[in-house]
Amino acid sequence: MHHLDLHGPLITDFFWSFLSLVAMRKLLLLSSSSYHGAEGFLGWCGDLLTEFLGKEVSRVLFVPYALFDYNEYTTTVRDRLKQLGYEVDGIHELENPLQAVEQAQAIFVGGGNSFRLLKTMYDHRLVDAVRKRVLQDGMPYIGSSAGTNLSTVSICTTNDMPIVHPPTFEALALVPFNINPHYIDPDPSSTHMGETREKRIREYHMYADRPPVLGLREGSALLVLGDKAVLKGPTGAKLFKPKEEAEVFESGSDVSFLLK
């Protein structure tokens, strides 16, 4: 397995060559598909989804690679998005996944295991294709949990177990930082003796040249439009930078500085 090289050709040559095209970038990065107190799958973010996709999109290409049962996952997403007025094509249902990405109006990458998701994306040669469609063509990208991890610099800040081995941890780099979905604040009353999520992120930042990590609480989302980024949803986020105190941002906060 390759080690993440933040100065390697994937991150530097590609990302900076498309810097002038970020005005096309349109991302909705969900921490989770479910939120305690909200009814049903994607129940907490229906308005966000319809506002994000708008009327220009009628069909969404869904990527279920992060879970084992592609058909069941796609059916769940199809039923929910149909309620919102959108048709869904499962990428695994189509003969040519690469062509499906090239022709998609919008893409939704679902949650599950980030390692399985990234490996399968590389297996089907879809990483470069999705990156190009989003950054060059302005194709809307929705990620949830693992799909949100996929949109960042790497999957190094996922909560998942490495059940398979992708060729690299480098991901789509649609944004120049990492995200930790399902972020949970330390509970001072907890009797749990293992590391907190915050400690895990601090471990990641013990090594040089690591980007910031945005801890997205469940019920939060990051909306990115061009060079603007705003937190959405009923909860906020916590930002971690190497050798700095963590900073809390409430819903509605402008965090566009993360895109610089």
> Is 3 among the catalytic positions?
no
**Joined tokens for residue 58:** 């009628």
For residues 121 and 65, is the Cβ–Cβ distance under 8 A?
A: yes
> Is 145 among the catalytic positions?
yes
For residues 232 and 185, is the Cβ–Cβ distance under 8 A?
A: no
For 139-227, strand residue ranges (E) read: 141-144, 178-183, 213-217, 221-225
> Is 160 among the catalytic positions?
yes
For residue 118, the tally of other CB atoms under 10 A from its CB is 28
Q: Which of 34, 124, 154, 160 is catalytic?
A: 160
For residues 50 and 84, is the Cβ–Cβ distance under 8 A?
A: yes
Between CA 8 and CA 38 the distance in angstroms is 42
Q: Which of 145, 151, 154, 220 is catalytic?
A: 145
Between CA 183 and CA 173 the distance in angstroms is 20
Q: Which of 182, 251, 253, 256 is catalytic?
A: 182
By annotation, the residues acting in catalysis are 145, 160, 182
